[in-house]
Chains A and B, each alone.
Chain A
């Protein structure tokens, strides 16, 4: 409402965040887990009695830390910044709320980022140049800094799903930041942190399998065997703890969001929000089987384990991670900040006011009445402006969650009734659980219905129908 609308055709702007974020999470969680993997592996190597094996391990760790530095320091960093750009463009309302609440927490996270990047570079470039114990210390400093970045961002992410009663009680009063710690350590903070730490450990092992798979098993069978087997073990904590952590997480999610998980059990009908159920199934199947794949491909055949095997395991991890992040985002519907801000940026307490004054009354960027006679300076209709503001954050017209398809077969009157149903947002409405109410005046409802009807039933088709009716 208060910001311009960032129109991404086909994909929708939400997926810009999604694609960058999933890519980022695959790398950043490796950065955290790998931050522990490296010093632990180095410590293990230094403790080895067999000098040849020790030297081989350390040489391999030099390779792995180079890979680690480039992947996390370049791609992790760039994609992390990419998320900033994407969320600012896609959902400036929500980003504004998060910044107002957590700006100093975020600033602290950036301090840890600087420590992380510096220590990662120092760790790599001082191999065999400084005392081994000091080198290990550098590794541990990196690990600690990296973990702190996760500890901080986890608070902000989980706040969006469960801001907590305390923060909600002061939301909109200007005193939100006074409840920083309540918002930070919100109901889903701890289960989410434990889940993510487990995932970080798994990703550390999985990415290590990528570099370990490139060891020549014929020339260095002992090295490859020991490293591959040790890396696979990093998946075990996640496999064991995940079911319990997921149950804990589910129990801390509000009942209204828990209900979203059940929507897809008995149907995939058009207009049903079955995606959370379906994504949850992908998470369960992938998480349950990835250890088996790693065990049979890597642990029991370490010398034969090659790069394509390692990439297969990585792709499974990508599936699990992507499905996890996607379902976490979908679980928040109809909110972007639970109980405070709907997905389309409308704040819950402002609904009544907007219904009275009209949606476009406070949407200068989307519909600025600077033209002659109160018309808009923009070149689209009121209906389209309302669509962009109220529907565009989750729907496209012809791409992702396409409204032309979802409303197919409905005529103008039917679409109007549908929008009225969304406007009334009664508790027994089938869309109440996952869609924000349509906010605005009766005129806004009509303008939106007119626009959507024109998209679903284009004028040529409408003329054809009218002709056929006349002929009958």
Chain B
């Protein structure tokens, strides 16, 4: 395995470094970072997806702030997005980057989550890492849902309207929750203002500290190796220093992600549909974005099996149960060595992947 001796920069740079180090304790940070190692094995590729998710979140913050300069929530929402897309210099690029990065970020988080799951990196002592990660995924989903409405074009209006039918289906309290989210009986300019506040203030305030906690846990406990690697004797296990080896490769992955994003944003710029009109019927085949397609389709299927309110309640219950089992997996599969519970957890994971993929595909097929 390659080793890198970190040599301090020479001359004047050295003096500056020493001055800063004395006051901020950079050497301690470097020692901490050097202390951490990253396992090297055939599945090491999956370790980059957390970093890719983080990079895409940083892109969201950067492009989001730029959009914030020109976006006007409320009655002028659509017009402000129209100006950003068709009038401002490179406004279309910032908007496209923001929209594509949102989708890529959720994709990266899902890949990261599944790779953590199948590597059983939720086991002791990483339970909080798993739980905080699930909370981050939840917040990211709400980021996506709230941001989707902000342009107030036909697609975003009706997709939000359909999406809000899910919380309103919760027995007894559902309609009240949906009304609170909408800011009234119907999706309109008040909804946009609420979603905007949620998207740029409330969610970031929740997300950032949770993310910092999540990253601290990763630094504290390091990356978990798959059970097959962990069972090897220490002499046969390979690793590389987190700093600077893994970090360099992580940076390279960030640059590759940037290129993928640039390609998508430039070649497939995000369109703006017609302005939302609450008086016209929903376009045929309206559906939520791909990351909500699976629950949307699952609820539809269950609604066909058990029509009416029973179907809605059954669907919600089943879905909630599935998510709860998923979140609580660290408390079920706690063993170090592979056993019955470990295998069951593995198959549960495979079932989840198959279910998610199949219902997403079926959902899109059904809307053709």
Contact = CB atoms under 8 A, between A and B. Distances in A.
B170 interface: no
B277 to A, nearest CB: 16
B323 interface: no
A292 B255 contact: yes
Counting chain A CB atoms within 10 Å of each CB, which of B45, B90, B245, B259 scores highest? B259
A292 B266 contact: no
Contacts of B258: 285, 289
A267 B85 CA distance: 6
A316 B93 CA distance: 20
Contacts of B262: 281-282, 285-286
Contacts of A267: 85-87, 92
Contacts of A264: 92
Interface stretch (A49-57, A134-142, A296-304): A296-304
A91 B64 CA distance: 45
B273 to A, nearest CB: 12
A266 B249 contact: no
A312 interface: yes
B231 to A, nearest CB: 22
A296 B90 contact: no
Contact of A297 (B87, B240, B249): B249
Contacts, number: 82
A269 interface: yes
A282 B267 contact: yes
A289 B255 contact: yes
A18 to B, nearest CB: 13
Chain A binding site: helix, strand, loop or mixed by DSSP? helix
A251 interface: no
A43 B294 CA distance: 60
A282 B268 CA distance: 12
B256 A316 contact: yes
B248 A300 contact: yes
B86 A266 contact: yes
B272 to A, nearest CB: 9
Contacts of B240: 304
B251 interface: yes
A236 interface: no
B23 interface: no
B120 to A, nearest CB: 24
A279 interface: yes
Nearest to B245: A301
B248 A301 contact: yes
Contacts of B271: 268
Nearest to A320: B259
Interface in B41-89: 45, 85-89
B255 A296 contact: yes
Contacts of A296: 248-249, 251-252, 255
Given A266-B92, A278-B266, A300-B248, 16 more contacts: A264-B92, A266-B91, A268-B269, A274-B269, A286-B259, A289-B259, A292-B251, A292-B255, A296-B252, A296-B255, A297-B249, A301-B245, A302-B2, A304-B2, A312-B256, A319-B259
Interface of A: 221, 264-269, 274, 278-279, 281-282, 285-286, 289, 292-293, 296-297, 300-304, 308-309, 312, 316, 319
26 contacts: A265-B89, A266-B89, A267-B87, A268-B86, A268-B92, A268-B271, A269-B86, A278-B266, A281-B93, A281-B266, A282-B263, A282-B266, A285-B259, A289-B258, A289-B259, A292-B252, A296-B248, A300-B244, A301-B248, A301-B249, A303-B1, A304-B1, A304-B245, A308-B45, A316-B256, A319-B259
